[in-house]
Amino acid sequence: MTAAAQSLGAAGYRVDVLDLYADDWAPVLAREEFAPVEGPFKPQAEQLRAVEERTLDAAVRAHLDRLLAADLLVLSFPMWWFSLPAVLKGWVDRVFVMGGVFGGSHGLFGDAALAGKRAMLLFTTGGPSESFRPGGAFGPMDDFLFHIHRGMLEFVGYQVLEPVITYGPARMTDRERASALDAVRESVARVAADAGATVG
């Protein structure tokens, strides 16, 4: 993420980095963060009520405000069990709030609150690139990314850019790792200069 932030900063972006581990982000969407209610806990209904009544959890509200202020969202992570790590998925669960970014006074997809903004994934894998191809051990990478691209990012309005993927960095030499970081910088610099190719 540091390399990407440097490229965006050099291109004139004001970069706001959310380090969920450093912030000790609580990933669980818990009943306790909402006002008491009788009956079963319905997370989306409680999120919508909290937005409407202005009682959203303070940490969630702060992250939501930062999300809404950003023109470009870059999710940087190590792929974990072929998806987002738990802490990042928990951030999406808590911050992509019903009534705040979709639903309520907002619609879905092109009518959601983040329509007109861009998002991209910047991540690493444990396996090599050949494992994520048709006929490879895991199959096409797009199969793993669809639920993130379509089910999370496009769902709340984002224009999703091509992901920046570094395959198997743990097995790289120092020279290969330095080259991979250069590739990340170059890819992010292209995004900063232009909308780039979208997914789908």
Q: Tens digits of per-residue pLDDT, 29-84? A: 999 999 998 899 999 999 999 999 999 999 999 999 999 999 999 999 999 999 99
Mean pLDDT within 174-185:
95
pLDDT value for 116: 95
Q: Of 116, 112, 72, 77, nearest to 96 (Cα)? A: 112
Calculate ∠ Cα 12-167-123, nearest 5°: 40
pLDDT tens digit sequence for 80-139:
999 999 999 999 999 999 999 999 999 999 999 999 999 999 999 999 999 999 999 999
pLDDT value for 1: 82
Whether 119 is covered by a domain: the verdict is yes
- The amino acid sitting at 32 is E
Task: Give the span between the Cα atoms of 114 and 110, in whole angstroms.
Answer: 8
pLDDT value for 191: 87
The secondary element (H helix, E strand) that includes residue 77 is: strand 72-78
pLDDT band at 3 (very low <50, low <70, confident <90, very high): confident
Q: Does residue 196 carry a pLDDT above 80? A: no
Q: Does residue 11 carry a pLDDT above 90? A: no
Please give the tally of structural domains in the chain: 1
Whether 101 is covered by a domain: the verdict is yes
Whether 33 is covered by a domain: the verdict is no
Whether 199 is covered by a domain: the verdict is no
Structural domain of 110: 2-27+42-193
| CATH assignment of the domain containing 71 | 3.40.50.360
Tokens of residue 98, six digits = 């019903």
Whether 109 is covered by a domain: the verdict is yes
Mean pLDDT within 148-171:
97
